Amino acid sequence: MEQNPNTGDVTVTPKKPDGSTYPPGTKVEIPGKNGNTITVTIGEDGKGTVPNSDLPDRKVPGVARITEPGKPTVEVPVVTTPAKLTPTVELEQDPKTGDVTVTPKKPDGSTYPPGTKVEIPGKDGNTITVTIGEDGKGTVPNNDLPEGKVPGVAKITEPGKPTVEVPVVTTPAKLTPTVELEQNPNTGDVTVTPKKPDGSTYPPGTKVEIPGKNGNIITVTIGEDGKGTVPNNDLPDVKVPGVARITEPGKPTVEVPVVTTPAKLTPTVELEQDT
């Protein structure tokens, strides 16, 4: 038995004691999974094929049986059926953007052709489908990722071929940027510093929206130092929790699910009566 390292398919070639091949129509039984056998019909070239998907998950030793048309079955006492070859799906997350690069690979380590579809586990039991490009890779935007890691099965569908499964993959969780709000205790002004998941700052011109008073939002434009400022007068009268939004020039808006805009600082007048 010879296994193709690219496809995992196994070529079965029964031979007579003198080394000659068996005629077409000969049946060969080899050990399969769960105690079952795999039956192969020999063709004109003296060979038969077992598709990779029909192979057991691990090697199975046992007895093979050869039945030539019109003749009694003969046994081959020791054969080992190879294990199914499993492709892999590599998932690499960019620490800055959170985007995930998906690289499916064949059992021999080669990449899949353009147009291959890869399904990986997504949020709420759904799947995320990625189309592979010329470089053998595809991309999942950070926004399409689940809130937490999701383990499960991946599926690879090469154009014109049956779908194959990769039994264990884990889709990374969405990376979330942060918005730091620091209030000056003297002036009440708030410094707004949005940060990418890796802790780096956003470029000048980035817009940040934070919760304001009466359900409105406060929009801040980020400067050269990666920060923006909200004057004390523009702040709400009380703290306002909510969602912040960051829009980097030329890129889609991303959300920060939990921020709290500080309340406006109000000066006080102390009156002390002389008794």
pLDDT in tens, 147-188: 899 999 999 999 999 898 898 899 999 998 999 999 999 999
User: Does the CA dihedral 61-67-72-74 come out positive or negative?
Assistant: negative
> Which residue is associated with the tokens 């063709």?
43
Strand partners, 212: none
Parse the chain into domains and list their residue ranges: 2-81, 88-171, 178-261
Q: Do domains 2-81 and 88-171 have the same CATH topology?
A: yes
Distance separating alpha carbons of residues 117 and 130, to the nearest angstrom: 6
Are the C-beta atoms of residues 76 and 31 closer than 8 Å to each other? no
* Amino acid identity, position 236: P
Tokens linked to 201: 């700052």
Given the candidates 2.60.40, 1.10.287, 3.30.70, 1.10.1060, the CATH classification of the domain at 178-261 is 2.60.40
14 neighbors 23 (Cβ within 8 angstroms): no
Residue 245 tokens, joined:
């939004």
What is the DSSP code (8-state) at residue 145? S
Asked if pLDDT for residue 274 goes beyond 80, the answer is no
Q: 107 pLDDT exceeds 90?
A: no
Check residue 224 and give its pLDDT.
Answer: 97
Q: Which residue is associated with the tokens 């003198």?
A: 18
CB of 98 closer than 8 Å to CB of 197: yes
DSSP single-letter state for residue 136? S
Q: How confident is the model at residue 240 (pLDDT cuts 50, 70, 90)?
A: very high
Q: For the segment 29-84, what is each residue's pLDDT rounded down to a tens digit?
A: 999 999 999 999 999 999 999 998 899 989 999 999 999 999 999 999 989 999 99
Region 84-107: mean pLDDT is 93
Across the chain, mean pLDDT equals 94
Indicate yes or no: pTM above 0.75. Answer: no
Rounded to 5 degrees, φ, ψ at 53 are: -65, -20
Q: Which residues pair with 118 in a beta bridge?
A: 130, 156
Cα–Cα distance, 154 to 145 (Å, whole number): 15
State the sign of the Cα–Cα–Cα–Cα dihedral 193, 199, 204, 210: negative
Integer Cα distance of 42 and 64 in angstroms = 14
CA dihedral 101, 107, 111, 113 (to 10 degrees): -110
**Of 236, 222, 224, 237, nearest to 191 (Cα)?**
222
Nearest one of 50, 65, 77 to 14, comparing CA atoms: 65
Q: Is the pLDDT of residue 5 over 90?
A: no
The 3-state DSSP class for residue 253 equals coil
Task: For the domain covering 2-81, report its CATH number.
Answer: 2.60.40
Looking up tokens 């953007």, which residue turns up? 97
- Kindly list the distances between the CA atom of residue 139 and the CA atoms of 107, 131, 144, 146, in Å, as whole numbers in the listed order: 21, 8, 10, 15
CATH number, span 88-171: 2.60.40
Give which of 193, 184, 190 is closest to 212, Cα–Cα: 190
Backbone angles phi, psi at 234, to 5 degrees: -90, -5
